[in-house]
Chain A
Amino acid sequence: MDAILECRGIEKSFGGVHALKKVNFSLHPGEVHALVGENGAGKSTLIKIISGALSQDRGEIFYLEKPVIIGSPRKAQDIGISTVYQEPLIYRELSVLENIFLGREIKTRMGNIDWTEEEKKARSLFESLQIAPHFIKQPMRDLSVGLQQLALIAKALVYEAKVIIFDEPTAILTEHETERLFEIIQKLKERKVGIIYISHRLEEIFRIADRVTIMRDGEVVGEHLVGDINRSKIVELMAGRLLVEEINHLGKKGEKPILTVKNLTRKGRYYDIHFDVYPGEILGFSGLVGSGRTDIAQTLFGLIKPDNGEIVYQGKTISFSSPEEAMANGIAYLPEDRKVQGLFHILSTSFNISVTVLKEISSRMGIVHNSQEKELGKKFVKELAIKAPSLDSKVYSLSGGNQQKVVLAKWLGVNPQILMLDEPTRGVDVTSKSEIHHMIASLAEKGIAVIIISSELPEILKLADRVIVMHEGHITGVFEDQDITSENLVRAATGERMLKTKGSSIEEKNL
């Protein structure tokens, strides 16, 4: 049968970053085509192009054998390409029925909304999917996430979707809901709907997909029928053979851990977390976005309260209730989203650098010593080679790399004992990236305990002395020395339990 959707030679760049390189992708009616790859491999960019949220720089998309320019999510929906997002786009206070039909109402001859007709249609839709439609008059907010998702699938069918894109649909579902979703996907296949299915759970792909496309670094590195491939081959393709030049730092790892985390649990975020951090080491946290890495860092930083467990820092059990407190005790956290969590855009470079250390550079009455502030700014501009016209330059006028250096400077100023870096080089140019990496290594040399959270495998491989891998809130692997390989990290990140390495204190407790 011919393809409903075909992408040929799609290219896309963001600034200097080549996100998609000559990507080909096709979808047949009644087929589930899985799309897999590490974070940053280019899946989301491709999906955004297909669903109209972005447009490609080069390449063509054929829909029902005709070339199309999709252009907007609205247009995509209108021509029959619907997306079920991970975080559903819903109207909380409106009924399920209305969520399905809003923007595409069935009208009476008078132009009124024909509620009876809409209800009839929705009921028959749900019944054809073998779901009892008892909930269609309830407001969306009263539904579980699983039911909300079903409503959005029904919405896609109202729009007569021929292509439905599922973006990690099971990430938020319970086991039971997942089963039901798979049954519905089966029904959709019978209706000859083509499905693009993104998931990090490889076992799901073997259950429901017909074909799988594997992406890495913006390229398609393999397209196989599911019957022709096995799990380890997929992992191998996802990981690739990364040639990474390691940065060695000479610092000695301390004898005693500076921080020990025991039994830490926060329901819905992470479970039963154990690990130690030593002064002078770089500890990597790998795994997918949303696997609980960031939540753990934010817990140590006083932003999230754990339900259970113990954090021992410098020999004392601690529980910080605010970042203020964590900072005062020498813990720093560079957040993952520079734009939202890191920068004060409309304020000066010097403000952004000094904001965390105002207490140290001010008198007891709270008066800031301008000269000290300026010196601090100058010092970091020099040390981190920040390119800014002046210290008074507003941060929004700097490049991404320089902005990131400013955020880094803000945290270096507090002279932390533990420095947690969440995606420290996201959206940063190559030169700045390398500079930041060397900076991180030299910090460890000075005896700081560095925790680096990164979705980029090369970054972890390059810097980390030890790596903890997380999957859906659990630690699934701890690796050291020669065990830190891209394949091991990807296997653990996709959910294989690999806690079999020697030497770490975690392993004993977990086995």
Chain B
Amino acid sequence: MKNIGSHIVENRVLFLLVLFLILFGVFAFSVKGFFTYYNLTNMTQYGVELGLLALAEMLVILSGGAGIDLSVGSMLTIVAMIIGVLIGRAGFNPSLAILIGLISGSAMGYANGFLVAYPKIPPFIVTLASLYVYKSLAMIISVDPRFGPNPMPVSNFPETFYFIGQHRIGGLPFQVLFIFIPVVLILMFLMNRTVLGRHLYGVGSNETAAIFSGINVKKIRVIVYTLSGLLSALAGWVITSRIASARPDIGTGYELQAITIAVLGGVSIKGGEGTAGGVVLSIAIITMLYNGMQLAGIHQIWQLGSLGLVLVGSVLLNQILYNRRKF
């Protein structure tokens, strides 16, 4: 008796590694300017924001019950605007503003989680509604009455604020070293080594059995959506710092990319299955794909378009693998 399950998981990581290497090879040979130290280190910064959202999506989808968070892009946007308005227009101390931003992101995630766990509204409805609610709030916040009723970006930040998004150490972006990598390590630790992580997998793979095993399912759900809010908020902070501007339309379309990366990384849409490692590899692949396409002069809308295809394709792949198992 071979162990089919772990083989599939191994295959997924292997599959992603091979995909990564092939893409890398193709771009290195055919795209000018790809295989340089500067480009390779530089492009990692673009993966951070999307990566954080993908990790958020991973947690939510992993928790099962048709879990999905369509509002990550909107939460990113609104936190970016909160931080931007507080620093740029209200003159808050940046650290305080960032803290408030992170707390508000978590609170919005909590609201999603509460509606999913307690009144048991289907996650796609809750987060579709909150996608628009949060986006709308972000635009309302962005209005500067001094300049009329239209949404306005904020870009007058103090120099210190750009540190996290624009500083480098040995060519490597600061946000990769001090935000992304620590977050990944913490999540890996959380998922593999802690009681919370075990409970998360348990709830995702069989909710009823989890209840019968004394796991507080509702609590896990709320935690997961709250973490999703927090991670989106982190992404909102980083992106504002990187592009030196808080824009009210910045997060549009991110939800699709985040879901795609998570699913491509091996997170099963049925819940209970997936690893942070797989998702990180998937982030690397997508980031490299974007970079290569950009260097090759392909318009960025095609990044989204190809992702749609990847999303449907990889869910189909997961589904086929899932159906092959016998219970």
Contacts and interface: CB of A to CB of B under 8 A. Distances in A.
A292 interface: no
Given A347-B202, A410-B213, A396 B208 contact: no
SS class, residues of chain A in contact with chain B:
mixed
A346 B273 contact: yes
Given A346-B5, A393-B3, A368 B193 contact: yes
Contact of A323 (B194, B196, B212, B273): B212
Contact of B194 (A303, A366, A392): A366
B211 interface: yes
Contacts of A389: 1, 3
A396 B326 contact: yes
B5 A396 contact: yes
A343 B4 contact: no
B205 interface: yes
Contacts of B212: 303, 323, 333, 335, 341-342
B206 A359 contact: no
A347 B205 contact: yes
Interface string A101-119: 0000000000000000000
A327 interface: yes
B3 A392 contact: yes
Contacts of A58: none
Given A394-B3, A396-B327, A397-B1, A343 B198 contact: no
B215 interface: yes
A341 B5 contact: no
Contacts of B199: 358
Nearest to A327: B214
Interface in A304-340: 322-324, 326-327, 333, 335, 339-340
A275 interface: no
Interface string A345-356: 111000100111
B208 A341 contact: yes
A366 B206 contact: no
A345 B206 contact: yes
B209 A340 contact: yes
Interface in B160-198: 193-196, 198
Contacts of A397: 1, 3-5
A457 B327 CA distance: 29
SS class, residues of chain B in contact with chain A:
helix
Select the residue from A346, A347, A356, A397 with max chain B CB neighbours within 10 A.
A346
Contacts of A339: 327
Contacts of A62: none
A370 B193 contact: yes
Contact of A346 (B210, B213, B272): B272
Contact of B214 (A324, A341, A351, A365): A324
Contacts of A410: 213
A356 B194 contact: no
Interface in A355-393: 355-356, 358-359, 362, 365-368, 370, 389-390, 392-393
A71 B25 CA distance: 55
Nearest to A399: B1
B198 A345 contact: no
A324 B5 CA distance: 30
Interface of B: 1, 3-6, 193-196, 198-199, 201-202, 205-206, 208-216, 272-273, 325-327
14 contacts: A322-B214, A324-B215, A340-B206, A341-B212, A344-B209, A345-B206, A345-B327, A347-B201, A355-B215, A358-B198, A366-B194, A368-B198, A370-B193, A394-B4
Interface of A: 303, 322-324, 326-327, 333, 335, 339-347, 351, 354-356, 358-359, 362, 365-368, 370, 389-390, 392-394, 396-397, 410
